[in-house]
Amino acid sequence: MIDWFRRADPAFYDKERFVLQAEAQVPRYSEEAQAESRLAVLREDRVFQVALAIVALALVLAAGFHAFAAAAAVAGLVAFLFEREARSRPQLATWTILAVVLLTFAYAFAFEPATLAARVPLELAAEALAYLGVCTVAGRIRRAELLARPEGLVSLPQSIVPLLDRSHHHAIICWRE
Amino acid sequence: MIATPDRYELNATSRVGLILAGAAFVLAACAGATNPSPRAVIVFALAFPLLWVAFATFISLRTIRGLKILNVDLPERTRALGGFRLRLTLAYDGSFFPAVGILANARFSTDEVEIAGGPWDEIPLLDGGRAAHAEWEVLAKQRGRLYVGPFRAAIELPGSALRATAVFDGVHTVTVLPATFQLEPFADALLSGRHVAEGRYHKTPVATEEYVGAREYRPGDSPKLIHRVLSLRSRDPNELYVREFQDPSRDDLCIVLDTAAPLDGDSSAHQYRLEKAICFVAALCRTFAARRLTVRFVCQRGSRDVLSLRVRPLDAELDRLEVALSQIGLGGDRKVIGRLLHAEVRRHGSAVIFVSLRSREAVEQQRLRVVTLTPDHVPIFTHEVVAR
């Protein structure tokens, strides 16, 4: 009887072996993939870029180029040291930019008090502009975080494929509407 | 169903970032304290970030406490590979500030695997006293039980030092019925020559028989069985109806499912064969039910646990069978299943179908008058497409 089945449908007869050997898997949305996706969103975000430029401009205006350059160098060092953390937790960028702003002001308070005292209204306006820029940057980073979150998620790989479905080896698949 | 959060989780948005910003703030404060000449500039520079972070953190903490689950919309049962829509309705009863950027997710698990945190769905804005939905599409491929929950709702405003998460511990169970194969039309061939065609030797009902319905009179029927009320109601005076009786304990055929691990292959191969056999049995029962046949389903669930279900061609009984099938594992013993098979053959004659997990028919089964279907036979009767 089995021989007759073999002759009748040889392709179907061999399916079980094929299914058991198939190791296709739906890739999980890795942290790395999400970080890349967030960066892509930020790269295309004009508002984010303009806000960053405004922060830099306001800091140069408020405390001078040297102060801004020194603070930016510190921020760059931090970003280099905590690159992995920044990829998984994008809010680190917000706090780093805030730290750059505060360090720039600290530099100006410590080394250029006379300059600050001479142009108080301009300094206040530049500080307000810088903080407005930081708030905007924080909002845009959060937006990128939300936009780049994974559409769906699959379960851990499952060694058993129920039925004849050969699409992948997962017990549960979930994605957001 | 209204559920309030069972607990709250508070996590720093970025520990390194907070330390960095805090250190910069302390440095700026020290620098401002040593040279306090442009006081307005220093106060503004220090007060703005402090107030911003404090306000964003306060709002995040305040709004998370106002969230509650109004409803979780999900089916009690679903079919493997069928999928369903999960809808979580969140309500916000705070009046101080609208909840902004709520993220919700759920944990999905079966007895073996789990998605600890499903994908986050966002509710952009939720005013006080209002409710909104978060929705997901869920597909369970494995029969059995799917647990949905606990649910989480998180709020993290830009500038907030903390990410506030409300955890709702309630877990909802969805029974995942086995997917059913779509059988080829020639699956009926399994019945040909196997069904015992018994003649009716007695003209009046015996004590064990029950009334099952009425039909038109055929020559040879006992006049004692004429249904007088129905016959009088008919327009044609020559049209007569007779009452029909049937023994309720008699089944048309029996399906025995093998649940003992075969000798060849590894555990994943055994499990795969069982999955396939279960889905095949479910499809077979539905096919026979469509032909108005009563099926007796027998299988061994555990060492002293034999399941015997009488499945009449009713949707409710087919559902009962599928719920039972969704919980069956490889808990059978070869000797016990052999004894079961012998008993069923004695009871049903040749109308027994044995869905085996072994790749070859055993010698002792070859002597029995049963149709044995090995895993190699199942694809012959089955479409590639799975019925949903």
Distance (Å) of CA B277 to CA B78, B273, B372: 19, 6, 12
Higher pLDDT, B112 or A125: A125
Shared domain check, B162 and B58: yes
Considering the domain architecture, whether residues B308 and B235 belong to the same structural domain is answered as no
Summarize the confidence of residues B343-355 as an average pLDDT: 78
Regarding whether B159 and B11 lie in a shared domain, the answer is yes
Would residue B202 count as lying in a domain? no
Q: Are residues B22 and B163 in the same domain?
A: yes
Nearest to B298 by CA among B261, B334, B335, B259: B259
Of the candidates A5, A107, A117, which has its C-beta nearest B380's C-beta? Answer: A5
User: Taking 50 as the threshold, does the pLDDT of residue B117 lie above it?
Assistant: yes
First to last CA, chain B: 30
Domain that holds residue B95: 1-176
Say yes or no: B359 and B380 in one domain.
yes
pLDDT of B349 higher than 80: no
pLDDT at B26: 92
pLDDT of B204-255, one tens digit each?
Answer: 666 666 676 777 887 878 888 888 898 998 888 888 898 877 665 566 788 8
Three-state secondary structure string covering A52-103: HHHHHHHHHHHHCHHHHHHHHHHHHHHHHHCHHHHHHCCHHHHHHHHHHHHH
| Residues B82 and B224 grouped into a single domain | no
For residue A169, tell me if it sits in a domain.
no
Same domain, B316 and B222: no
What are residue B140's DSSP bridge partners? A172
Same domain, B364 and B274: yes
Instruction: Please report whether residue A66 resides in a domain.
Output: yes
Whether residue B203 lies inside any domain: the answer is: no
Output the pLDDT for position B205: 61
* Residue A21 confidence (pLDDT): 37
Question: Are A9 and B81 within 8 A, CB to CB?
Answer: no
Q: Is B205 among the domain residues?
A: no
With cut-offs at 50, 70 and 90, classify the pLDDT of residue B194: very low
Question: Is beta strand B352-355 parallel, antiparallel or unpaired with respect to B305-311?
Answer: unpaired
> Which of B303, B208, B195 lies closest to B254, judged by CA?
B195
> Is residue A89 assigned to a domain?
yes
Please indicate, yes or no, if residue B162 is contained in any of the structural domains.
Answer: yes
**pLDDT score, position B251:** 63
Rounded distance between C-alpha atoms, residue A41 and residue A46, angstroms: 10
Residue of A nearest to B30 (CA): A106
Rounded distance, CA A58 to CA B187, Å? Answer: 79
Q: Are residues B381 and B258 in the same domain?
A: yes
Looking at residue B192, its pLDDT comes to 59
116-145 of A, contacting B, C-beta below 8 A: 116-117, 120, 123-124, 127-128, 131, 134-135, 138-139, 141-142
The torsion angles phi and psi of B380, rounded to 5 degrees, stand at -65, -35
Q: What is the full per-residue pLDDT of chain A (177 aa) written as tens digits?
A: 444 444 444 444 444 444 333 333 334 456 677 778 788 888 888 999 999 888 888 888 877 777 788 778 877 787 777 777 777 778 888 888 888 888 888 888 888 878 877 888 888 888 888 899 999 998 888 888 877 776 555 554 444 344 444 444 456 666 665
* Residue A156 to residue B112: CA distance in whole angstroms: 10
The answer to the question of residue B135 being in a domain is yes
Residue B151: the pLDDT is 92
Would you call A79 an interface residue with chain B, using a CB distance cutoff of 8 Å?
no
Is A92 a member of any domain? yes
Does a structural domain hold residue B204? no
Total domain count, chain B: 3
User: In the prediction, which pLDDT does B89 show?
Assistant: 92
Same-domain check for residues B17 and B70: yes
Judged by CB atoms closer than 8 Å, whether chains meet at A116 and B38 is answered as: yes
Q: B291-328 pLDDT, tens per residue?
A: 778 888 999 988 888 888 888 878 888 888 989 998 88
List the single residue in B with minimal CA-CA distance to A106.
B28
Say yes or no: B156 and B266 in one domain.
no
A177, part of any domain = no
CA angle B228, B229, B231 (to 5 degrees): 65
Reply yes or no on whether the pLDDT at B53 is more than 80: yes
The SS3 call for residue B56 is helix
Nearest to A176 among B18, B119, B178 (CB): B119
Residue B274 and residue B170 in one domain:
no
pLDDT at residue number B193: 52
Residue B346's pLDDT is 80
Is there a contact between A158 and B34 if contact means CB atoms under 8 Å apart?
Answer: no
Model pLDDT, residue B101? 84
What is the DSSP-derived secondary structure letter of residue A104?
H
Q: Is residue A163 part of a domain?
A: no
pLDDT recorded at residue B287:
84
**CB B141 to CB A171 under 8 A?**
yes
Q: Which domain holds residue A51?
A: 30-150
B161 inside domain? yes
Predicted confidence (pLDDT) at residue B116 exceeds the cutoff of 80:
no
Question: What pLDDT does A25 receive?
Answer: 33
Whether B349 maps to a domain, the answer reads yes
Reading the block at residue B95, the tokens are 């009046």
Q: Which residue has the tokens 């034999």?
A: B306
Per the domain annotation, does A5 fall within a domain?
no
Is A117 domain-assigned?
A: yes
Instruction: Identify the pLDDT of residue B331.
Output: 84
Residue B34, domain CATH: 2.60.40.10
State the complex-level ipTM.
0.73
Domain count within chain A: 1
